[in-house]
Structure 1
Amino acid sequence: MEAQRDEIERQKDEITGQRNIAIAQRDEIAHQKKEITDSIHYARRIQQAVLPPPKFLSDLIKENYFILNKPRDIVSGDYYWLAERDSQIIIAAADCTGHGVPGAFMSLLGVTFLKEIMGKIKELTANEILDELRKSVINALHQPGVQNTTRDGMDMALCIYNIDTLELQFAGANNPLWLVRDQVLTEYKADKQPIGFYEENKPFTNNIIQLNKGDAFYIFSDGYADQFGGPKVDEGGKKFKYSRFKELLISIQNEKMPVQHDILLETIEAWRGPLYQVDDILVIGVRV
Structure 2
Amino acid sequence: MKENLRTSGHTLKKFIPFLFLTSLFFCFTIDSSKAQRKQLPEEVKTQIENYKVNAIKNRNLGNDNAAASYLNKIAYLYWEYFIYDEAIKNFEEVMTINQDLGNKMGEQKVLDNLAFVYNDMDRFDKAIECFLKSLVLIKTRGEKQPEAECLSNLAVAYTSNAQYSEAIQAANQGLEISKSLNHLKLMRSFYGTLHECYEKKGDKDKSMEYFGLYSSIDKHLQQQLFEEQQLQSQARITQIEAEKNRTERVLEKTKDTLKEVEQITREKQLEINLLNSQKELQELAIKQHEVKSKAERRLRYFLISIFIFVCLITLLIYNQMREKKLANAKLQELYSEIEKKNIQILDSINYASHIQEAILPYEKHMNDDIPSSFVFYKPRDIVSGDFYWHSNHGNKVFVAAIDCTGHGVPGAFMSMIGNTLLNEIVNENQIFNPAEVLSQLNEKVVFTLNQDQKDKESFSEDGMDITFCCYDKVENSLELALANHTACLIQDHKTTLIEGDIFSIGGNVGFGQVLFKLHKFKITATTTLYMYSDGFQDQFGGDHNQKYMAPRFIEFLEKIQSIPFEQHKQLLEQEYEVWKGESRQIDDVLVIGARFIA
State the AA in 2 paired with 1:47: Q
Which structure ranks higher in relative contact order (CA pairs < 8 Å, sequence separation ≥ 6)?
1
Q: Distance in 1 between matches of 2:409 and 2:430?
A: 34
CA 1:147–1:279 in structure 2 vs 1: closer, same or farther (change >3 Å)?
Answer: farther
2:489 match: 179
Between 1:129-138 and 1:248-257, the stretch displaced more is 248-257
Matched, 1:240 2:552: no
State the AA in 1 paired with 2:574: E
2:354 match: 45
Q: 1:206 aligns with which of 511, 515, 518?
A: 518
Deviation at 1:16, TM superposition (A): 0.8
State the AA in 1 paired with 2:481: A
Matched, 1:193 2:503: yes
Q: 1:104 aligns with which of 380, 401, 412?
A: 412
Deviations 1:225-246 (A, max 9, x none): 11111112xxxx1110000000
CA 1:123–1:12 in structure 2 vs 1: closer, same or farther (change >3 Å)?
Answer: closer
Deviation at 1:122, TM superposition (A): 3.8
Matched, 1:157 2:467: yes
Matched, 1:35 2:347: no
Deviation at 1:162, TM superposition (A): 1.5
Deviation at 1:20, TM superposition (A): 0.4
Matched, 1:84 2:392: yes
CA 1:147–1:231 in structure 2 vs 1: closer, same or farther (change >3 Å)?
Answer: farther
Q: Distance in 2 between matches of 1:105 and 1:47?
A: 9
Matched, 1:12 2:324: no
State the AA in 2 paired with 1:159: C
Matched, 1:267 2:575: yes
Q: Distance in 2 between matches of 1:54 and 1:29?
A: 40
2:534 match: 222
Question: Aligned-pair RMSD on alpha carbons?
Answer: 1.7
Between 1:6-15 and 1:92-101, the stretch displaced more is 6-15
State the AA in 1 paired with 2:411: G
- Which sections of structure 1, spanning at least 5 residues, go unmatched? none
**Contact preservation (8 Å) 2:442, 2:514:** no
1:3 match: 312
Helix, strand or coil at the partner of 2:530: strand
Residues 109-124 of structure 1 aligned to structure 2 (within 5 Å): 109-122=417-430, 124=432
Q: Distance in 1 between matches of 2:312 and 2:448?
A: 71
Q: Distance in 1 between matches of 2:587 and 2:373?
A: 23
1:55 match: 364
2:373 match: 65
Q: Which has the larger radius of gyration?
A: 2
Q: Distance in 1 between matches of 2:492 and 2:465?
A: 29
Q: With structure 2 as the length reference, what TM-score do the two structures score?
A: 0.46
Deviation at 1:184, TM superposition (A): 2.2
2:335 match: 26
Deviations 1:115-174 (A, max 9, x none): 111134445111111111111100000011748953210000000011232210100001
Deviations 1:19-41 (A, max 9, x none): 10221122112101110110000
Q: Distance in 1 between matches of 2:523 and 2:397?
A: 14
Deviation at 1:197, TM superposition (A): 3.4
Q: Which has the higher strand share?
A: 1
CA 1:120–1:107 in structure 2 vs 1: closer, same or farther (change >3 Å)?
Answer: same
Between 1:19-28 and 1:104-113, the stretch displaced more is 19-28
Q: Distance in 2 between matches of 1:147 and 1:273?
A: 46
Q: Distance in 2 between matches of 1:267 and 1:280?
A: 16
Moved over 2 A (4+): 119-123, 145-150, 197-202, 254-258
**Contact preservation (8 Å) 1:227, 1:279:** yes
Deviation at 1:179, TM superposition (A): 0.5
Matched, 1:169 2:479: yes
Q: Distance in 1 between matches of 2:352 and 2:483?
A: 27
- Which sections of structure 2, spanning at least 5 residues, go unmatched? 1-309
1:285 match: 593
**Contact preservation (8 Å) 2:425, 2:431:** no
Q: Distance in 2 between matches of 1:140 and 1:3?
A: 72
State the AA in 2 paired with 1:255: I
**Contact preservation (8 Å) 1:73, 1:99:** yes
Q: Distance in 2 between matches of 1:146 and 1:30?
A: 40
Deviations 1:197-240 (A, max 9, x none): 335773011111112342100111011111111112xxxx1110
Helix, strand or coil at the partner of 1:191: coil
Q: Distance in 2 between matches of 1:147 and 1:168?
A: 41
**Contact preservation (8 Å) 1:145, 1:197:** no
Matched, 1:144 2:456: no
**Contact preservation (8 Å) 1:257, 1:285:** no
Q: Distance in 2 between matches of 1:92 and 1:147?
A: 33
Q: Distance in 2 between matches of 1:30 and 1:197?
A: 36
Helix, strand or coil at the partner of 1:202: coil
CA 1:214–1:27 in structure 2 vs 1: closer, same or farther (change >3 Å)?
Answer: same
**Contact preservation (8 Å) 1:81, 1:93:** yes
State the AA in 1 paired with 2:442: R
**Contact preservation (8 Å) 1:81, 1:111:** yes
State the AA in 2 paired with 1:266: Q
